């Protein structure tokens, strides 16, 4: 840890430097605030000892400059007896602590060591925040991803309920987080509740909390996720997996902002923005009475759809890059180079598990592949769905039938890639639109 000592008395600078260096700190000194700030350009200080009364720029002014540049720096003010008032003001400005002259050396050591620990924690905290931001970053600049971002930007500031839908692994959780981050609730909790990951009989007590004695084993009460989210956002993930009984309670929270803990009659008021997500077909579930229609309509105020990976293959390169960086960090491995042909091959691959599956694939390559350069042949075979080569080895059909089969599959994928837009697909395939339309009709492909 590095300590910068700023004091106009040379004796103090020397004494502090010598005792702190004995403690193992790297020290630099400066004779006034101005000089100290200059020093910080070259010296990466963690803790600063700062005299309150100095000629060239006093301690308080210096403190403001220092904290503005880096709020995680820990500044300990040093003041003569007459400067106590200023020292107190310094604490209010954000100084870590203050020491009074004449300095007690043991106290200096303890205070510096505490400040150093605090500095370490605040840097760690900052790293974690950056890490979360990176991890939750939505990657991709393709039109579907731009549209998604635009939706997020529009819906975030309001309190509107949002229902995020999309296939598995398409980033629904990232969207929920982005909405929270861009809302006025960003500095309040973002609480995720996954109905599918919790045994049905525990869903209600987890979500609404419970009172002491509510059931055997409830030796003391516990807050539920809903209460934890008060003031912030409650993300109800996999809402399609919630039991009908939990659904009706959630409906009441949405309608009246009220709920009771399990085993209690006391009504709690709650202010949490609700964002829900599912990969299930809720309309179908409503038709089969598996999902309450009133809840569906309440939740579905703003529907947001996350595109499947095959709908934005243009983002493959960026995604591989991003997932690569994550893998390098998480797995502590050295970087690999994915060749342009490899990116191309990945674009043509089917990923039923979307970006999550791509992420797993990249991690697998980092763990198992020793080569630094990844060529198309180094990609592991897909396991989730029949690979292309299976197509050629399948049951023998007549040449004409097989050709028809191929054309149909090919055109279906291409239509999907081009947003089911016939003229765009035709253009991409260098076909006349009328020819493509005829072909689709012939093959029985409906749009």
Ligand X SMILES: Nc1ncnc2c1ncn2[C@@H]1O[C@H](COP(=O)(O)OP(=O)(O)OP(=O)(O)O)[C@@H](O)[C@H]1O
Structure tokens of 123? 């840097």
Three-state secondary structure call for residue 141: coil
Q: Which does 374 bind (CB under 5 to 8 A by kind): Mg ion, ligand X, none?
A: none
Site size with ligand X, rule: CB under 6 A: 17
Q: Residue 191 Cβ, how far from Mg ion at the closest point, in Å?
A: 14
Kindly tell me which residue out of 355, 361, 365, 426 binds ligand X, with binding defined by CB under 6 A. Answer: 355
H or E stretch covering 203: helix 200-208
Q: Which stretch binds ligand X (CB under 6 A): 21-29, 115-123, 354-362, 433-441?
A: 354-362
Q: Can you say whether residue 328 is alpha, beta or left, with left for phi > 0 and alpha for psi between -120 and 50 degrees?
A: alpha
Which residue's CB is nearer to ligand X, number 166 or number 232?
166
Q: Which stretch binds Mg ion (CB under 5 A): 29-37, 112-120, 137-145, 166-174?
A: 166-174
d(CA 48, CA 39): 11
Structure tokens of 120? 């370490």
Which residue's CB is nearer to Mg ion, number 112 or number 319?
319
Q: Which does 174 bind (CB under 5 to 8 A by kind): Mg ion, ligand X, none?
A: ligand X
Structure tokens of 446? 């409906």
Adjacent-strand bridge partners of 233: 190, 273
Q: Which does 140 bind (CB under 5 to 8 A by kind): ligand X, Mg ion, none?
A: ligand X
Q: Which does 138 bind (CB under 5 to 8 A by kind): Mg ion, ligand X, none?
A: ligand X
Q: Which does 171 bind (CB under 5 to 8 A by kind): Mg ion, ligand X, none?
A: ligand X
Which residue's CB is nearer to ligand X, number 5 or number 162?
162
328 in contact with ligand X (CB under 6 A): no
Check: CB of residue 329 under 8 Å from CB of residue 363: no
**CA 272 vs CA 25, 153, 176, 184, 243: distances in Å:** 47, 19, 14, 12, 21
Q: Which does 272 bind (CB under 5 to 8 A by kind): ligand X, Mg ion, none?
A: none
Nearest to 50 by CA among 1, 94, 110, 106: 94
d(CA 171, CA 173): 5
Which residue's CB is nearer to ligand X, number 33 or number 166?
166
Q: Which does 168 bind (CB under 5 to 8 A by kind): ligand X, Mg ion, none?
A: ligand X
173 in contact with Mg ion (CB under 5 A): yes
Which residue's CB is nearer to Mg ion, number 65 or number 279?
279
Three-state secondary structure call for residue 161: coil
Three-state secondary structure call for residue 277: strand
Q: Which does 328 bind (CB under 5 to 8 A by kind): Mg ion, ligand X, none?
A: none
Q: Residue 322 Cβ, how far from ligand X at the closest point, in Å?
A: 6
Q: Residue 363 Cβ, how far from ligand X at the closest point, in Å?
A: 10
Q: Residue 297 Cβ, how far from ligand X at the closest point, in Å?
A: 22
Adjacent-strand bridge partners of 192: 235
Kindly tell me which residue out of 17, 149, 280, 356 binds ligand X, with binding defined by CB under 6 A. Answer: 356
Exposure pattern of 159-189 as b/e (b: 16+ CB <10 Å)?
A: eebbbbbbbebbbbbbbbbbbbbbbebeebe
Q: Which does 425 bind (CB under 5 to 8 A by kind): ligand X, Mg ion, none?
A: none
Q: Which does 170 bind (CB under 5 to 8 A by kind): Mg ion, ligand X, none?
A: ligand X
Q: Residue 323 Cβ, how far from Mg ion at the closest point, in Å?
A: 17
Nearest to 165 by CA among 290, 29, 306: 306
Which residue's CB is nearer to ligand X, number 176 or number 270?
176
Adjacent-strand bridge partners of 276: 163, 236
Binding track over 158-187 against ligand X, x by CB under 6 A: --------x-xxxxxxx-------------
Q: Residue 167 Cβ, how far from ligand X at the closest point, in Å?
A: 7
Structure tokens of 106? 């043991």
- Can you say whether the dihedral through the CA atoms of 99, 105, 107, 111 is positive or negative? positive
Nearest to 13 by CA among 52, 61, 50: 50
140 in contact with ligand X (CB under 6 A): yes
Three-state secondary structure call for residue 40: coil
Nearest to 273 by CA among 253, 293, 292, 295: 253
407 in contact with Mg ion (CB under 5 A): no
Neighbour count for residue 71 (Cβ, 10 Å): 10
Which residue's CB is nearer to Mg ion, number 165 or number 172?
172
Which residues contact residue 256 at a Cβ distance below 8 angstroms, ignoring those fewer than 6 apart? Answer: none
Binding track over 265-304 against ligand X, x by CB under 6 A: --------------x-------------------------
Positions in the binding site for Mg ion (CB under 5 A): 172-173
Positions in the binding site for ligand X (CB under 6 A): 138-140, 166, 168-174, 279, 306, 322, 355-356, 359
């Amino acid at each position: 840890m590095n300590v910068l000592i700023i004091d106009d008395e040379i004796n103090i600078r020397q004494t502090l430097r010598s005792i702190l260096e004995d403690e193992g700190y790297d020290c630099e000194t400066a004779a006034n605030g101005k000089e100290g700030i200059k020093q910080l350009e070259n010296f990466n200080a963690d803790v600063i000892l700062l005299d309150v009364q100095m000629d060239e720029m006093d301690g308080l002014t210096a403190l403001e400059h220092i904290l503005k540049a880096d709020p995680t720096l820990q500044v300990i003010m040093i003041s003569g007896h007459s400067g106590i008032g200023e020292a107190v003001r310094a604490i209010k400005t954000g100084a870590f602590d203050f020491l009074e002259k004449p300095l007690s050396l043991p106290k200096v050591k303890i205070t510096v060591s505490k400040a150093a620990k605090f500095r370490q924690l605040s840097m760690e905290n900052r790293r974690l925040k950056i890490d979360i931001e990176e991890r939750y970053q939505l990657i991709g600049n393709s039109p579907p991803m731009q549209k998604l971002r635009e939706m997020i930007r529009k819906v975030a500031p309001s309190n509107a309920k949002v229902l995020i839908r999309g296939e598995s692994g398409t980033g629904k959780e990232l969207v929920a987080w982005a909405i929270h981050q861009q809302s006025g609730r960003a500095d309040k909790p973002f609480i995720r509740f996954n109905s599918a990951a919790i045994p049905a009989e525990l869903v209600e007590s987890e979500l609404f909390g419970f009172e002491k004695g509510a059931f055997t084993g409830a030796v003391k009460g516990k807050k539920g996720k809903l209460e934890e989210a008060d003031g912030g956002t409650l993300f109800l993930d996999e809402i399609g997996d919630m039991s009908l009984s939990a659904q009706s309670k959630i409906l009441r929270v949405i309608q009246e902002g009220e709920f009771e803990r399990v085993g209690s009659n006391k009504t709690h008021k709650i202010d949490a923005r609700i964002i829900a997500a599912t990969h299930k077909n809720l309309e179908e579930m409503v038709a089969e009475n598996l999902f309450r229609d009133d809840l569906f309509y309440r939740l579905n105020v703003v529907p947001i759809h996350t595109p499947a990976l095959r709908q934005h293959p243009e983002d493959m390169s960026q995604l591989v890059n991003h997932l690569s960086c994550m893998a390098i960090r998480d797995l502590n491995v050295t970087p690999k180079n994915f060749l342009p042909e490899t990116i191309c091959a990945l674009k043509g691959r089917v990923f039923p598990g979307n970006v999550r599956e791509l992420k797993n694939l990249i991690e697998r390559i980092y763990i198992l592949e020793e080569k630094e350069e990844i060529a198309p042949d180094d990609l592991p075979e897909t396991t989730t769905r029949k690979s292309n080569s299976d197509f050629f080895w399948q049951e023998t059909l007549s040449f004409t039938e097989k050709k028809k089969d191929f054309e149909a599959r090919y055109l279906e994928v291409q239509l999907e890639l081009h947003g089911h837009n016939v003229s765009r697909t035709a253009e991409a395939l260098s076909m006349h639109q009328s020819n493509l339309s005829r072909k689709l009709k012939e093959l029985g492909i409906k749009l």
